[in-house]
Amino acid sequence: MMHALHRFLLLHLLTCLGLYALGSEIINGQNVPENLMLYMASVQNNGGHVCGGFLINEHFVVTAAHCERRNPTSVVLGTHNLQKVDNNTMRYRVKTCKFPSYENVNKGDDIMLLKLSRKARLGKKVQPIQLPNTEVKVKDKSKCRVAGWGFTKTGGEIVKDLRVVDVPIVNLEDCKNKWGHIGKNLPANIICAGGSGTNKGFCQGDSGGPLVCNGKAVGVVSFNYRANCDYPNKPNVYTDVSKYLTWIKKILKQNNC
């Protein structure tokens, strides 16, 4: 009897502690099943993964403009495991198409298209994700998710397997206020989600990945507070895809940039 009670109490204690100690992932997320998020792209330079991205049709991946500094040369599609890349079938060379007025993350417009050198082979492992069709605002507190191969803790390293975490949308005014406390003015055309009021969010290496709400890619991972992923500190900031639809559609239509 005593034994069982002890065991129960110990388990209970571990479960409580575990809220913080266990499962530190994308930041407090989990592995993505092989048959989900088939639009995820690993944006790479010759040295390996530098950013996340997402496939929007057979020719283009969306990522963050600030990833251009890392000289992306290819994207990998069709695997959640970055140690299982078949260069012949999964790797695509890319040309970068940065949003024309992008200067730096502080000024916003942190979005870039990557034109694939050949058509993506769609199938059971590769499928594009839909973009929002109009400038519909994502409702506050909507349940959304972000995925990536980024660090699982501040100053960590790129992970082998794709991770995902649920993040709540943060009201834009609340977000601006929270960042305002440290004297930072956020740029226009952003969405805030996670990182604040939750211990979940993105981390370095997740840049360029999608914020997915109701099956649509509504945001692009842009920046967090001083590369500190010990949440909650400040809301995570995403580029609002719906504000760039005209530009995206133009490039998709001319199939070039």
Ligand X SMILES: *[C@@H]1O[C@H](CO)[C@@H](O)[C@H](O)[C@H]1NC(C)=O
Residues binding ligand X (CB under 6 A): 46, 87, 91
Catalytic residue status for 166 = no
Q: How far apart are CA 44 and CA 25, in angstroms?
A: 21
Catalytic residue among 49, 59, 66, 80: 66
Q: How far apart are CA 227 and CA 133, in angstroms?
A: 32
Helix (H, G, I), strand (E, B) or coil at 43: strand
Q: How far is the CB of 169 from ligand X (least distance, A)?
A: 36
Residue in the shown chain whose Cβ atom is closest to ligand X: 87
If the CB atoms of residues 91 and 163 are measured against ligand X, the closer one turns out to be 91
Catalytic residue status for 117 = no
Question: Which one, of 25, 37, 2, 3, lies nearest residue 125 by Cα?
Answer: 37
Q: What is the CA radius of gyration of the chain?
A: 19
Catalytic residue among 42, 74, 110, 196: 110
Q: How far is the CB of 208 from ligand X (least distance, A)?
A: 18
Sign, CA dihedral 239-243-244-245, equals positive
Q: In the numeric block, which tokens belong to residue 202? A: 């993105």
If the CB atoms of residues 42 and 196 are measured against ligand X, the closer one turns out to be 42
If the CB atoms of residues 35 and 87 are measured against ligand X, the closer one turns out to be 87
Catalytic residue status for 101 = no
If the CB atoms of residues 114 and 175 are measured against ligand X, the closer one turns out to be 114
Q: What residues act catalytically?
A: 66, 110, 207
